[in-house]
Copies of this chain bind each other. A is one copy, B any other.
């Protein structure tokens, strides 16, 4: 292992100067800097992070905690966060909590001392615990907020109201009047917002009616399970809690001879890459999740590196976009 001592010896300076060359280059004369840098290059020196962390009290690592890395939604967020933290010179520890609040809680506890900050995505923790974490560490929330309980906690949110409205507007524009919303897990943060958004959007447009299904498991299997229940009542267009549920509906309907979009139109939420996997392609509304991941890292690092001055915007609300694909079409006029 190459240490500051090796570099110092090689370049004829003290170890302090080696350290300065890397940390505060402007405090080193151009000449010395060049020699030190040359020695570093020649020896392949890399500062030992553990030592630097111990001394500085900062690790250069941030944690990104997701419920399920296999879920395309979280995978995309992670991808964005990864890129952003790399660009800023930080390491990123990705933690998959397997949808368990206990695992999440335990992992956070174990992590706390060895990271500079933590990004909690769709946290499964109850408010009190989440509050504790948020106050106890530099943190950013994605898809969750503490509202009045902790207005100081930065968060990245997607404007679900706008998303719901865009989806409903699209369907209404195609002539659909009887809509159905297949909702996700009751009490989930996104579900509450999406359901409300859809309801409001429907209410705002005279002539529309809405049927609602609640508490559907937010996976393709969940969608399949309720594929039957959604049909009927003259519904001509369905909004699904997420793309996975939409794909489940699509698949099951396909097997039962219900055609999309000829017989029924379908819109998913999130616009994840799976929306481009199906036939027909799925119309979906969502934001660029990589951007969201990046935004969270930016917000977090602003905090982490805030020594003084900075008084950054603590919230970031991302606008979703509706991407129209083949799963939606004008309502069939009565034959």
Assess whether A14 is interfacial by the CB under 8 Å rule.
no
Given A69-B75, A113-B48: A255 in contact with B274 (beta carbons within 8 A): no
Closest B residue by C-beta to A48: B113
Contact yes or no, B50 A54, CB < 8 A? yes
Contact yes or no, B112 A46, CB < 8 A? yes
Contact yes or no, B72 A76, CB < 8 A? no
**Which residues of B are found within 8 Å of A78, using beta-carbon distances?**
69, 94, 96
Question: Least Cβ distance of A118 to chain B in Å?
Answer: 13
Given A59-B50, A251-B281, A277-B277: A93 in contact with B93 (beta carbons within 8 A): yes
Quick one: which of A53, A103, A109 has the most chain B CB within 10 A? A53
Assess whether A5 is interfacial by the CB under 8 Å rule.
no
Question: Least Cβ distance of A213 to chain B in Å?
Answer: 20
Contact yes or no, B50 A220, CB < 8 A? no
Partner-contacting stretch, out of A22-30, A79-87, A142-150, A301-309: A79-87
Main secondary structure of the interface of A (DSSP, over half): helix
**Which residues of B are found within 8 Å of A91, using beta-carbon distances?**
93, 111, 114
**Which residues of B are found within 8 Å of A251, using beta-carbon distances?**
277-281
Residues of A197-233 at the interface with B, using a CB-CB cut-off of 8 Å, are 220-221
CB within 8 A of A82: which of B51, B69, B278, B279?
B69
Contact yes or no, B72 A69, CB < 8 A? no
**Which residues of B are found within 8 Å of A235, using beta-carbon distances?**
none
Assess whether A8 is interfacial by the CB under 8 Å rule.
no
Question: Least Cβ distance of A281 to chain B in Å?
Answer: 7
Contact yes or no, A50 B114, CB < 8 A? yes
A61 and B61 CA atoms in complex are apart in Å by: 12
Assess whether A254 is interfacial by the CB under 8 Å rule.
yes
Residues of A87-103 at the interface with B, using a CB-CB cut-off of 8 Å, are 91-96, 98, 103
Contact yes or no, B114 A49, CB < 8 A? yes
Contact yes or no, A278 B277, CB < 8 A? yes
Q: What are 6 pairs between A and B in contact, CB < 8 Å?
A: A50-B53, A69-B78, A79-B96, A93-B94, A251-B277, A277-B277
Add 15 more A-B contacts to A78-B96, A86-B103, A251-B278 (CB < 8 A). A46-B109, A49-B113, A50-B59, A69-B94, A70-B75, A70-B79, A75-B75, A78-B94, A82-B96, A83-B96, A93-B94, A244-B277, A251-B280, A277-B277, A279-B279
Closest 9 pairs (CB-CB, A-B): A254-B279, A50-B53, A251-B279, A94-B94, A50-B54, A49-B114, A82-B96, A70-B75, A247-B277
